[in-house]
Amino acid sequence: MKVDILLSTFNGANYLTELLQSLRSQTYPDWKLIVRDDGSTDNTLDILKAFGEKERVTLLKDGIRLGPKKSFELLLEKSTADYMLFCDQDDVWLPEKIQHTLEKMQKMEQQFPEQPMLVFSDLVVSDEALNEIHPSLWNYTKVNPENIHNIYKLLVNNPVVGCTTMINRQAKHVVLPIPDEAVMHDWWVALKVSSKGKAVFLREPTIRYRLHTENNLGVSAADSRFYLKRMIRFQTLLSQNNHAIKMMKALDCNLSVPKFLFYKVMMSFSKAFR
Per-residue pLDDT tens over the stretch 204-246: 999 999 997 665 445 555 544 444 444 444 445 555 678 888 9
- Within a domain: residue 184? yes
CATH code: domain of residue 86: 3.90.550.10
Predicted confidence (pLDDT) per residue in 49-100, tens digit = 888 766 789 999 887 899 999 999 999 999 999 999 999 999 999 999 999 9
Tell me which residue of 43, 246, 78, 41 sits closest to 176, measured CA to CA: 78
Q: What per-residue confidence (pLDDT) applies to 226?
A: 43
CA 136, CA 92: separation in Å to the nearest integer? 15
CA 81, CA 88: separation in Å to the nearest integer? 19
- Within a domain: residue 57? yes
Q: What per-residue confidence (pLDDT) applies to 254?
A: 86
Mean pLDDT of 143-167: 95
The reported pTM is: 0.89
- Within a domain: residue 107? yes
- Within a domain: residue 273? no
- Within a domain: residue 166? yes
- Within a domain: residue 216? yes
- Within a domain: residue 160? yes
Strand 92-93 versus strand 198-210 pairing type: antiparallel
- Within a domain: residue 274? no
Q: Which domain holds residue 220?
A: 3-268
Whether the Cβ atoms of residue 193 and residue 118 lie closer than 8 Å to each other: yes
Specify the number of domains making up the chain: 1
